[in-house]
Structure 1
Amino acid sequence: MSTPRRRTRLRSLAALLCLVGLGLAPSACSTTTEARPSSVSGAPSPTGTVCRSTLPPQAADTLQLIAQGGPFPYRQDGQVFRNREHVLPARPTGYYHEYTVVTPGAPTRGARRIIAAQNGTDYYTADHYATFNAIDPRC
């Protein structure tokens, strides 16, 4: 279970990694991906899309593993993502699953994840669930 202090530390680590450039794509370090309220439900929603080609190379590796059903590098990969942060659209438990995007040099799983939705949409977060962008596979 994530605590506010842990999330703050992870966000700080993600920001530091962006600053020193440890393999993060510029779009992953963008400060323009803050969650905005949804006009329909009042809940936060993803702010847009990110081109698959602009993601870190490790994200492409993770997407390929998801498509082929594994094997995954971490035992937590494929577990149900419960959307406790309420940033993604509200859906029944089991609708979303999370996968680690490996962060080179990180002693832990790092902050980067891909969340796969049942409808086929994949979301990328570089800041451990604070913000999300839908991945556009066409670019």
Structure 2
Amino acid sequence: MTVGRRLRRTLPALVLAPLLALTGLTACGGTSGDEAGASGPSSRNGVRQTAGVPRTGRTSAPSGGMREVPASSLPAEAQRTLRLIAAGGPFPYRRDGITFANRERRLPSEPTGYYKEYTVPTPGAGDRGARRLIGGRAGERYYTQDHYRSFVRVTGG
């Protein structure tokens, strides 16, 4: 294969990857197969949501570039789960409150047992779905809509 032909084949990928990264399409966006029943784009309190992921104009990046979102912009099911966590339960799923091992290393590195995970129900899902809230021992909260592939840090209530 000639250099020119190889360049023509790889050039689109070289151009497209940075564009996707800049637009944020690779971080926390889209839907996973587990969320096919999740609601589409909506607007509530001026915050755009896509399949349960809050879209704010905010670009703060606390830990390693992770986006922060206010708890009030999360789906209603996530807000209910946050209230259950604050109250100490009771939790609807047997596995709620188990240790989250952070095997994907998407959250800040902490000792084993530091993080606990909680289910955020997904409307229309026949199982626990893909959405979770992860709580740290110091009170920090993280939300994932795609079963640990991406996270946002939750601020406030």
TM-score range relative to shorter protein: 0.7 to 0.9
* Match in the other structure for 1:26: 49
Cα shift at 1:45: 4.3
1:97 to 113, 116, 122: 116
* Higher RCO structure, 1 or 2 (CA under 8 Å, sep 6+): 1
TM-score by length of 1: 0.72
Query: Structure 2: which amino acid aligns with 1:13?
Result: D
Partner of 1:75: 94
2:150 to 115, 131, 134: 131
Using the TM superposition, give the Cα deviation of residue 48 of structure 1 relative to its aligned residue in structure 2, in angstroms: 1.5
* Unmatched 5+ stretches in structure 2: 1-30, 43-47, 56-62
SS in 2 for 1:120: coil
> Which residue identity lines up with residue 49 of structure 2 in the other structure?
P
Q: How far, CA to CA, are the matches of 2:119 and 2:65 in structure 1?
A: 19
- Deviation string for 1:85-108 (max 9, x for gaps)? 110011111000000001112100
Shift of 1:21: 2.4
Contact kept in structure 1, 2:53 and 2:74, CA below 8 Å: no
What's 1:122 paired with? Answer: 141
How many residues are treated as equivalent by the alignment? 116
The equivalent position to 2:34 in structure 1, one of 13, 31, 35, is 13
Partners of 1:45 and 1:114 in 2: how far apart?
Answer: 19
> How much is the aligned-residue C-alpha RMSD, in angstroms?
2.9
CA distance in 2, matches of 1:114, 1:99: 5
Q: Which amino acid is the alignment partner of residue 125 of structure 1?
A: T
Of all paired residues, the percent bearing the same amino acid is 46
What SS does the corresponding residue of 1:62 show, helix, strand or coil? helix
Letter in 1 for 2:156: P
Question: Quick check: which has more Rg, 1 or 2?
Answer: 2
